[in-house]
Structure 1
């Protein structure tokens, strides 16, 4: 049975009417079996909480909450989803998109094939990571010498069963002086920064040509967030634009290399006379 979480939380005040009518500043929270469900505003008005708009307050609420995970409605929009995702990351609470379930997706604990595939992916990713570690180390040294700022770009993507996680990539663009200054102040110990899409560096252009910027994604495979091959890994920006039916594909574990790309690579090529080469 779903019950509202709002009445159980202290120190809230009534929001002004114009704030209640603004979806970007207001949402409905419900408690369901140890899960916090974040949805669009419903018919029943709920008291406004400052923590819904202030990240640090939200992080503190999540830290002191007994919830195990957060499920959030994609209809809330990309900005609100990133706000909650960042807060959940700081509070060490997993966050999932509320998407239609897929009957074809087996439960992790009930499928020996799933566990075998995960072990195979983990072992292969570890071998690949050790093999390319000299290349990655060289890229890190070059980036540190010639391109100050963060080494990696991290953006929210959607993983298995709608779980949100950050995909690791080498940064291939320049950072503005303002961005570098903000990073030095607010993220001194954080090597991961969202890419500032300004200008592609010379090294970044070379990395994109050979796909080397994707090498850090092997870390995502080791963490169980991705597979070596699988459905295309969609960014949060792309996922929120999917319709309800298409969102079912987000139940599967995404891959570094899309299965469609593998199929196209090995698909027979037809000649101009209609013959298969």
Structure 2
């Protein structure tokens, strides 16, 4: 495996130990509480212990971005561990003081994890600290896996070679090792030896097998024996794409391994929590942002003639139309000019986008850059037409040209923000936008919405892709 920087582990350990221990000790000492120093030591060791138990320090995990929720989950475990220790030792400390003392541990660990991930991502953009993969499977399947790995940069895996199984040639141009026969060999070594040799020759870190008609069942089992005896890791690619690991469950039937793919979450407590969060947040947002909304409305009115709001029909849940609210960012009659600018469209799909759209007013450009033009959509969220998080609300003429695959985006309410908002917005291609939306639809959870909302703030401040 490509070596990650050696400072990742000690830096993470030091931040965790000191981030929990020092604030606890200092805050208890300042509050004249007993056992200040021992409590700080226990807190630091407990925080590092929780991280160790949760495998956060393993080479495979350290530096990989899993968002803020896993760290928050670990922090709640820390609270539980210390609460039990507090009760068992008979130490009497004020709960609010303890929570305040432990909060820096959460914040510092989040900052450290993000810094390590950014450094690791920068190394991987230079083709460093990557995991070298040898793909084994039928040529067409091996080509598909190789192309999929090469098309994305949000993972550490790089295909360095392939061992084809059966007839046919690999069309990806990747280096290939000795071909395996289509028929199951009499000796397991006839499969494992060429694969192990290719691993050694190409310097691969692991073997990724794409099961198929010629490589499955007992033959695959015997191949795993040879690889594991040689100390080589084996991964299987079942062919599923864009399915969250949270939806996958392993099982067995009569010794045969099974992989269950759970259906998308459509009913139960989580959708109810989403509706409560949407409606309550929209109402609170409209009340708290009322002064800002008035100022923006005045700026729009003063900058150009016409109404303050732009009301336009969009397509929502189940293909039902609704009127979406936005602050007007273009001059009056801009819709009628769209056909004249069709040749200037800078987007490759069904959407129309221009970086320097002449119809956008001066105030409108600033509103779009800051995404403030979308604040009136809180009215749509309050009415139930939209959600805080979801796919981009499409136009009727876009939906008219949807394929059955693209229509799946309409099985949930459109959102004010979503994966498209935090991943580049208008800089994304049409296919990328669709794939992000479909990934959201298939893998939605309440916690994923919370994560998207937290990351939206940075995307809005950054302004990338907003025009």
What band does the TM-score fall into relative to the shorter chain? Answer: 0.3 to 0.5
Q: TM-score, normalised by structure 2?
A: 0.28
Q: Which has the higher contact order (CA 8 A, sep 6+)?
A: 1
Larger helix proportion, structure 1 or 2?
A: 2
